[in-house]
Structure 1
Amino acid sequence: MRLLQITASNVWRGHEQQIVYYYDAFAAKGMHQVLLCTPDTRLHEIAQEKNYRVHTLPFHSEYDRKWMKKINQIVREEKIDLILIHNSTAHTLCVLSSLLYGWKTPMVFFRTLIKRVDTNFFRKWKYNYSGLKKIVCVSQAVIDVLAPAIKDKSRLSIVGSATDLEEFHRTQPTGWLRKELGLTDDTVIIGNIAAFVGFKDHVTLVHAAAEIVKKIPKVVFVLAGKGELEENIKALVAEKELTSHFVFLGFRKDIPELFPEFDLFLFTSKLEPTGGVLLEAYASHVPIVATRAGGIPEVVVEGETGLLCEKENPIDFAEKTVQLLQDKAWQQRLVANGYQHLLTHFTKEVIAEAMYHELELVYRAAL
């Protein structure tokens, strides 16, 4: 099987990390692969470091003729058997390239967004395009939103998120974060790692924090990430007079080192396809309080591997966070169960094998 993986994304999030997991795992099987992505991104940087067979193009539009031409060139010159598409704009570009240049290479789309696609004719049409043989969704929550627009629902399947236990092998705090922030040993650190965008719902986190500090005064909320709403959240923190309880770290590349320093991971996202960062919390042995929304309940087993709260309900988040922080035995039980859940369902090896199986089904059907 000769595979082209393609994304037009400019960001570095869980999905882009999963592309790296797939490429490495498939390469270990001896598969011929090509990656087409945008330049000057973290994904491109990693591809260069690992000596992937990689092509890049700046992304301007999902109707960019240069991208369509490049896809056609790679498909023909590399004798590609199958295309694995990783974002919606790349999906459009592949479909239009196929129509424009006449290639018939089967396509598989790995869908990770909870978003309707039946809102206009073209979007619905491209998801039912005959050359798109399978739509692999990251969770049942993604399928539930996507399914009404899909005529042949047998093309839908699930392959979840993954994390790398070699990268996230640290499970005990060393104290470096407390030292760096000038915190005492008895200060509780509640962490959150998420882009500052609307659906991550940092607003609920801040309102929950206002309640938590009433019960646990020696607490600091450490937020890692960047995004368009960061200044808004900082302003809300100041308005709630919580500035001394919050630290904004910005974008970090040292997440595997950062995670074990948290006493608890608080994840208030209200529209999460799967919550891959929760797997990193499992790997780092950090107890979780998260939202009962989207694909999160497919990752966090309520009461067994973590606690789930009603979305946009800061009181629920605050109460469960305080309860968990006051019960060490409960924390240890959730952490142990969470780590085993990760080993069984969400390691990069397990997930890459599941995706390989889906690709192989399409490849054999094409033969």
Structure 2
Amino acid sequence: MRLIQVTASKGWRGHEQKIIYLYEAFRDFGYVEDQWIVCVKDSEVHKAATSRNMQVIALDYKGEYSLEFAKSLKKIADEKKADILFIHNSQSHTLSVLSSLVYGLKIPMVLCRTMIRRVDSNFLRKWKYNYKGIKKIICVSHPVVDVLKYAVKDHSRLCVVGSVTDIHKFKYADTGILHKEFNIPEGHLLIGNIAAFTPMKDLHTWVRTAAELHKRNFKAKYIIIGDGPQEEEVKELARELGVENEIIFAGFRKDIPQVLPEFDLFLFTSNNEPTGGVLLEAYACRIPIVAANAGGIPEVVQDGITGLMAEVGNPVDFADKVEQLAADKNLQQQLTENGYEFLKANFTKEVIAKKMYDELNEVLVKYGTKR
């Protein structure tokens, strides 16, 4: 298999990390004959792929309907004699369809979908999901499949391959970086989250949970790592609730593998999460989890087995679960051990890369063109 992964994303979140993980796994396990990443010039994916000596082709990006990008994609596919185009975000989905429709890109296309969001409200968006060149849509969880069924006519094109993490990247060792940097008092638990400041992450409930625990004289400090459009709004809520000195807003960081093991508990309040890949990283670091019972999270967190689940948007329920877990060391050990084994069995690079390869290869066998 000669594979092109394409994304028009400029930032760096879990899905961009997934592209890098898959490239590494496809290479290391010998799943592909050759492969390339096509991305936006100077994007985070471009930087990450370049720093790892991956075969990356960076293009200028002038918008979702850039004919220049679409034309270049066709040229690259021809020059590299690619077999499959693996599409990783909405903008590159549009560009790939344009490449096929306008410039005659012939190779089969596979779309990776990670968002729980209706796409049938817009005619053009719905049309591109049913475009004949898209042979398969690989979803990160079953709730993603369920919401796409409203738009996609042929449900047989939908399948599920879960999130991925690299367990070798995360260590079960507290480095003390955050405690030193933010002068966290001795004897206080560190309760954290890693999330973009967007509505889906429901950081308002996260702050209200911290306020509820503070009201109960729970001995902890709280940290959110991330940034995003709702950041000032969330900070203002913390001020209104009188917990601005209890919550550390640490901003976007690139040292997650080093600082995540410092968390004593991972508090995850997302209200419509496709899976919550960061929860897998918490498993890798053996951090106890309290998470919202929403979206695809139940496919990652097994209530009472690998973590505790709380009612969406209910800070009192979240606070109750945090207190329950913090007070029971045996329960913490049981959940974290189960979580780590669950991670190894279902979400490692080895496991997910094989599942992903099988789905891509099925398309190649069925629709691939002979060179």
Q: TM exceeds 0.5?
A: yes
Is residue 21 of structure 2 the alignment partner of residue 21 of structure 1?
yes
Please report the RMSD computed on the Cα atoms of aligned residues, expressed in angstroms.
1.2
Contact 1:215 1:322 in 2 (8 A): no
**1:214-233, aligned counterparts within 5 Å?**
214-233=215-234
Q: Secondary structure of the residue that 1:190 maps to in structure 2?
A: strand
The residue correspondences of 1:202-241 to structure 2 (distance < 5 A) are 202-241=203-242
TM-fit CA distance, 1:177: 2.4
1:230 shift after superposition: 1.0
Where do residues 148-227 of structure 1 align in structure 2 (5 Å cutoff)?
A: 148-168=150-170, 170-227=171-228
Q: Is the Cα contact below 8 Å between 2:64 and 2:95 reproduced in 1?
A: yes
Measured against aligned partners, the alpha-carbon deviations of 1:111-161 in whole angstroms (never above 9, x if no partner) come to: 001111111221111111111100000000100100121111111111100
Match in the other structure for 2:148: 146
| Aligned-pair CA distance for 1:216 | 3.9
Q: What is the aligned partner in structure 1 of residue 120 from structure 2?
A: 118
Query: TM-score, normalization: structure 1?
Result: 0.97
Q: Which residue among 80, 86, 89 is the counterpart of 1:87?
A: 89
Question: What displacement does 1:4 show?
Answer: 0.9
Pairing partner for 2:68 from 63, 66, 69: 66
Whichever residue aligns with residue 267 of structure 1, its letter is: F
What is the alpha-carbon distance in structure 1 between the residues aligned to residue 23 and residue 14 of structure 2? 14
Tell me what 1:325 maps to.
Answer: 326
> Cα offset for 1:174?
3.7
Kept in 2, the 8 Å contact 1:192–1:223? The answer is yes
Residue 228 (structure 1) shift:
1.3
Question: Where do residues 287-366 of structure 1 align in structure 2 (5 Å cutoff)?
Answer: 287-366=288-367
- Secondary structure in structure 1 of the residue aligned to 2:149: helix
Cα deviations by residue, 1:27-46 (Å, 9 ceiling, x for unpaired): 23152112111122221111
| Deviation by residue 1:308-364 (Cα, 9 ceiling, x = unmatched) | 111111111111111111111111110000000000000111101110010110011
Aligned-pair identity in percent equals 53
1:352/1:69 Cα in 2 relative to 1: closer, same or farther (>3 Å)?
A: same
Task: Could you tell me which runs of 5 or more consecutive residues in structure 2 were left unpaired when the two chains were aligned.
Answer: none
Deviates most, 35-44 or 338-347: 35-44
**Residues 266-305 of structure 1: CA distance to partner in whole angstroms, max 9, x if unpaired?**
0111111110000000000000001111110000001100
**1:233-271 deviation digits (Å, cap 9, x = unpaired):** 111111111122111111111111111111100011111
Structure 1, residues 165-218: CA drift from partner, whole Å, max 9, x if none? 1111x1132434223322233111101100111111110011111111123442
Q: Is the 8 A contact 2:200 2:271 kept in 1?
A: yes
Q: Which amino acid aligns with 2:104?
A: G
Query: Which letter does structure 2 place at the counterpart of 1:182?
Result: N
Q: AA paired with 1:116?
A: R
Is 1:98 aligned to 2:93, yes or no? no
Look up the equivalent residue of 1:226 and give its one-letter code: D
Distance across 1 between alignment mates of 2:103 and 2:189: 59
Is the 2:165–2:349 Cα contact (8 Å) retained in structure 1? Answer: yes
Equivalent-residue separation in structure 2 for 1:352 and 1:296 (angstroms): 21
- The answer to whether the 8 A contact 1:161-1:274 is kept is yes
Instruction: Tell me if the contact between 2:139 and 2:145 (Cα under 8 Å) persists in the aligned partners.
Output: yes
